[in-house]
A and B are shown apart, each in its own frame.
Chain A
């Protein structure tokens, strides 16, 4: 009984802010700033969503976000899977030392690289391009670890059987390893997609052209202009959070597995 009550209370606290966000986004202008607060809109309206799509061009920002997240996810899938597999299953000189090095690099906060990275992108003429957001995010030590962890469980016999049949290493990777890694790759893609979609600081800095802004950056920009329109801001927040929530709820099984797999040292 006590358990049930605690669960309900915890669950309510976890989802309440989002419930209110959705409710407020349908309220008329000014209704979210009334006392006592309304929990539900008196007269639901779609005006804020309409304003976002027509006047404030939210559709474009969503497409930008989608493009960037899809590109990073696709490229990183390939790059990190290859590296993770090699660290687990292929022997080459300096492998273990390299891997330890990567482990120490995990500790370096990304902000340390941020300023010079910007100057580097300037030198490569990649400031204000999608490539400037995508390319630096492709290789991820965390994902390499995740894949390696999983690839360790692939039996060597399976690989050697393919090699004996005369398959090149590349073929072995494509037709034996990748299918075997499918669950890890699923986890990794969702991870990467969500992380890229939610990323804020880097796109804020690199994409100087507003028309290329990603959704979270555009939303923070909106806040600068429309902080007083609580209901409009809530609608914007709903549109920003909705896609990630949908992806998460649809594919939660893989995603949650990945979290625990990544933590096992």
Chain B
């Protein structure tokens, strides 16, 4: 929900070149250039917003809509201050933010997917927050889920404050599970596969037990990191996908597609997941808390029994793991709040205000309120109870899962490596490559992506090593 203000630049500048140029062409040379320059300056000026005290805050996707009331609260608490909130579509957010960094057009405060933190830290676009944290009365590391906080730390410095967390686990049709004769939620891969096989018997034709969209990298990465092996090696400068433990996990995951337990589709091909889920065409879906609201809208089974319509039932469960519940880890997803630095962010008063805004959004009360507005899970464990999330049976498994997270490598190249992982899964799942060939190709691609990192680390090591030349 973008706010309506004076739209900058809607006044069409009267840069009519012919007024200025309506002179003898022979003497117009310098003038023409001046006009061109003036037109440029004018155009640029038309597009420049008015001066502070304003904060620019970019939030992504639905959070951009949900956070609006909190922004208004902050403005009420700080009269004269305006926070310009902008909702950036999540699908294009990554390149939009990068482009903004390169073009020196970043906001003061932004929501950043926590997996992007290393990248923006490498760009030196983020302010390290440790000095502010040391003085803060609101934000303390101990109040946050450790796995979620860790994603904000790069080389020992903290670049973001977790705003909300999410993690993926399994949404499933509990009524179909019961009908299929599965008594309790599966905890190991073996039990999980067995449950899927049974489910297939009670589903309508044309359905498949599990939906694991091929275009999303989180589900395969969850499974690969459950293997316990690191996904990168040599100081995160080479791929480690041919490690036997990773290979075993990959083979198991790909097997789900090959055995017809999961259809080889991308999420773009499923027009309405909740609707299809309600119709029983899928019975399990590895996804995150953002889908809870959507599923309730299509399958309202959380109403009190007296008013509950007859219809599909669903529940959530923590990720099964290779060897049982304890190994059923997932990934720390979610978003952080960051302060951008660089050109245009040199006013200390405005920066202090930006940090106040981050603190304002990080109090237990604000976290709880935001959770209710957005259905996002609070990053502070102490906000769960006031948000009313503690007693909710469909949300409780998330609390379990959030205490079982594995970190991913924190390298700037991670985004493109993750994309390559989906390609490898897709190739193996559709059978255009064997598991081993797909992993060998993946390792080769990842090594190639990380070549620059190897060189930079070598250069840094060379600079740190004393040479006899420098000792004159």
Contacts and interface: CB of A to CB of B under 8 A. Distances in A.
Q: Are A and B direct contacts in the complex by CB distance below 8 Å?
A: yes
Interface of A: 30, 33, 55, 57, 60, 63, 67, 70-71, 75, 78, 118-119, 121-122, 124-131, 134-135, 168-170, 174, 204-206, 208-212, 220-225, 227-228, 230
Interface in B188-243: none
**Top 5 A-B pairs, shortest CB-CB distance:** A127-B103, A224-B91, A221-B89, A131-B43, A128-B105
A208 B92 contact: no
Contacts of B88: 210, 221
B40 A221 contact: no
Given A127-B104, A129-B44, A131-B44, 19 more contacts: A55-B1, A67-B10, A71-B43, A75-B15, A78-B18, A122-B102, A127-B105, A129-B43, A135-B40, A135-B43, A204-B92, A208-B100, A210-B87, A212-B9, A220-B92, A222-B89, A224-B92, A225-B61, A225-B90
A208 B103 contact: yes
Given A57-B2, A227-B268, A134 B43 contact: yes
A230 B92 contact: no
Contact of B25 (A126, A130, A168, A210): A168
A170 B24 contact: yes
Nearest to B5: A211
Nearest to B294: A228
Interface in B68-100: 86-92, 96, 99-100
Given A55-B1, A130-B46, A130-B47, A170 B105 contact: no
Contact of B89 (A125, A129, A224): A224
- In this complex, the member of A60, A63, A124, A208 whose beta carbon has the largest number of chain B beta carbons within 10 angstroms is A208
Contacts of B15: 75
Contact of B86 (A71, A211, A222, A223): A211
B23 interface: yes
Contacts of B18: 78, 174
A216 B317 CA distance: 40
B91 A225 contact: yes
A67 B104 contact: no
Contacts of B1: 55, 57
A208 B24 CA distance: 41
Nearest to B41: A131
A230 B271 contact: yes
A174 B25 CA distance: 12
Given A128-B105, A174-B22, A225 B89 contact: yes
A225 to B, nearest CB: 6
Contacts of A30: 272, 275
Contacts of B137: none
Contacts of B90: 224-225
A167 to B, nearest CB: 11
B382 to A, nearest CB: 31
A122 to B, nearest CB: 5
B342 to A, nearest CB: 12
A115 to B, nearest CB: 11
29 contacts: A30-B272, A33-B275, A67-B9, A70-B12, A75-B17, A75-B39, A78-B18, A118-B102, A118-B103, A122-B104, A125-B104, A126-B40, A127-B100, A127-B104, A128-B100, A129-B43, A170-B23, A206-B103, A208-B103, A208-B105, A211-B86, A220-B89, A221-B89, A223-B91, A224-B92, A225-B61, A225-B62, A227-B268, A228-B272
B458 interface: no
Given A63-B10, A128-B103, A174-B18, A209 B44 contact: no
Interface string B268-296: 10011101000000000000000000000
